[in-house]
Amino acid sequence: MGGPRFEPVRTVRAYERIVEQVEEAIESGTLRPGQRLPSERDLMGQFSVSRSTVREALRVLQARGLVRSRPGDPHGAEVQPFTPVELHKSMTMLARVDGLSLGELVQFRMVLDSSANLLAARLRTDEQLAEMDTAIAAMRAAVEVGYDEFSAADVAFHDAVARASRNKLIQICTEVVRSIVLGLIAGKIAAAPDRVALMRRSIRHHEEVLAAVRAGDGPLAARLSRRTMYDYYEEYVPTSERPALRALLE
Amino acid sequence: MGGPRFEPVRTVRAYERIVEQVEEAIESGTLRPGQRLPSERDLMGQFSVSRSTVREALRVLQARGLVRSRPGDPHGAEVQPFTPVELHKSMTMLARVDGLSLGELVQFRMVLDSSANLLAARLRTDEQLAEMDTAIAAMRAAVEVGYDEFSAADVAFHDAVARASRNKLIQICTEVVRSIVLGLIAGKIAAAPDRVALMRRSIRHHEEVLAAVRAGDGPLAARLSRRTMYDYYEEYVPTSERPALRALLE
DNA sequence: ATAGTGCACTGGTCCGACCAGTAGGCTGCA
DNA sequence: TGCAGCCTACTGGTCGGACCAGTGCACTAT
């Protein structure tokens, strides 16, 4: 045992150093959304690197959604407010490359939505209840209009519940996973011959969920919401995956 | 009303086109992990752009975790297997920039872990049960050794449960959120004066959860796991946030 | 057959240049 | 004096060429 422990030398690229510095500034709040970075030509002076290196760093920061640059903008790149678009992209990539099945995605939605309902039943405000009422009313009104409108109202309801849970992680994951699911089954529901009946049943289910939330019965709302979602997506999930989904229905 | 609907012209940067093409190739499976991209000098020929443009595209792809390039590698950039590192980065960024509180994170862990237990109770194999046994044995052995070892065994237990849930999304989110939580409270548990007692209690709780999983009682396992996690993290969560966490404990 | 060496090529960085686009100041008109 | 419209200085996007340190492979000498 002996000798000094030598760490492997990690060669750090110049552009990575720049990325780290800017990220650090944003994380620490030194750079706030809306603020501007110096121009690329200024930055090459400040960091003592060439413009190519500065630009590669900016590309990375832009890919992470932290800054945005427009050609011709005399004020330099703008620091962006945080958005889950990157989260969304990586999850979408995960879904496609790593082969996430529709079953897994729907199952995860059931988990998220039921948890949101469980929390919402205890934490919801009257305003949020009103939002949910409005959303269900919009669903009813949309039955005769079209599936797109119905779907939008449905989304609004689940978003209202997610907000009422007061957990940002639940809200964001709900949003991300839902858009992936909707992308996978795009058009299939709209094309279903009995879609009007499906919509009506879904409305009834949502009303039951909302009643439980209003009554403050979290476990009931959670159970009902899982059932609602299962019924809604069941026929699009391969039969082999359905047992795993049903495991969530007590 | 009338006239043709003109779409706003979106100017697409050259490097973005390249990113899109490569992403498409990876998503469609044309490019598989381990395969190599042509060298930058080849790519500039194939895409008819300059090397700077090729490099900016590669920077973006690398930032997304899709490819990796090493200096001097005669085979060009390597297509990477999908890993949730990018998911992790964006979530970490979200936690820091958007001000995710420890309470929200722990709450989300409770949601994930309890769902994983609920599913694991029905879907676990005997091998997975054995893994959980092993992990708890390691926790017991680690009490006298140190907190780091204990924590590692604890992580192993929860990972085994997550795997048994057979839902990749749950596994990945568990991993990501847990590492953020552990980062936030790093050292605090290890420094607690009564940490040995805490560890012993935690082991007891884990044993109860495992017993429920073994018995196939999903709802019980889920409820116990929420309680376990709440007890474990309670004192690090600001008192103002605790009611929201307790809302998950029936 | 193998150990060692050189080379062709890689990615990382720098430089200088040109272009289209933007914003804000300036000019000129009313 | 007020405003409309032009001008210009600057921006980011792209190009092409150059140099360097590192890598793997083929070739060489043993």
- Model confidence over B123-135: pLDDT tens digits? 999 999 999 999 9
Is B2 a residue whose pLDDT tops 50? no
Let me know: does B108 contact A232? Beta carbons within 8 Å.
no
Distance CA A189, CA B141 (A): 54
How large is the average pLDDT for residues B31-35? 92
Tens-digit pLDDT profile for residues A183-227: 888 878 777 788 889 999 999 999 999 999 999 999 999 999 999
pLDDT given at position A7: 55
Strands (E), chain B: 67-68, 78-79
| Contact status of B104 with chain A (Cβ, < 8 Å) | yes
Residues of A (20-49) placing their beta carbon closer than 7 angstroms to any atom of strand C are 44, 48-49
Question: Which residue of chain A has the CA closest to B31?
Answer: A97
Classify each residue of B142-181 as buried b or exposed e, where b means 16 or more C-beta atoms within 10 Å of its C-beta: bbeeebeebbebbbbbbbbbbbbbbbbbbbbbbbbbbebb
Q: Are B247 and A112 an interchain contact pair (Cβ–Cβ within 8 Å)?
A: no
Give the one of A27, A52, A118 whose C-beta lies nearest to B248's C-beta.
A118
Determine the Cα–Cα distance for residues A158 and A225; give it in Å rounded to an integer: 10
> How many Å does it take to go from CA B24 to C1' C11?
24
For residue A79, the cross-strand partners are A67
Q: Any residues with CB less than 8 A from the CB of B126 and at least 6 apart, and which?
A: none
Provide the whole-model pTM. Answer: 0.85
Give the C-alpha separation, A135 to A163, whole Å: 14
pLDDT of residue B3: 47
Phi and psi, residue A68, nearest 5°: -145, 135
pLDDT of residue A1: 45
**How many other CB atoms are found less than 10 A from the CB of residue A242?**
16
Percent of chain B with pLDDT over 70: 96
Report yes or no: B184 at the A interface, CB cutoff 8 Å: no
A65 Ramachandran zone, left/alpha/beta (phi>0; psi -120 to 50): left
- Which of A56, A97, A104 lies closest to B82 in CB terms? A97
> Among all chains, which residue has been given the structure tokens 């749950």?
B170
pLDDT of residue A195: 84
The mean per-residue pLDDT over the stretch B193-222 comes to 94
More confident residue, B15 or B97: B15
Return mean pLDDT, chain B.
Answer: 91
Segments of chain A scoring below 70 in pLDDT: 1-10
Nearest DNA or RNA nucleotide to B69 (CA to C1'): C11
Summarize the confidence of residues B203-228 as an average pLDDT: 97
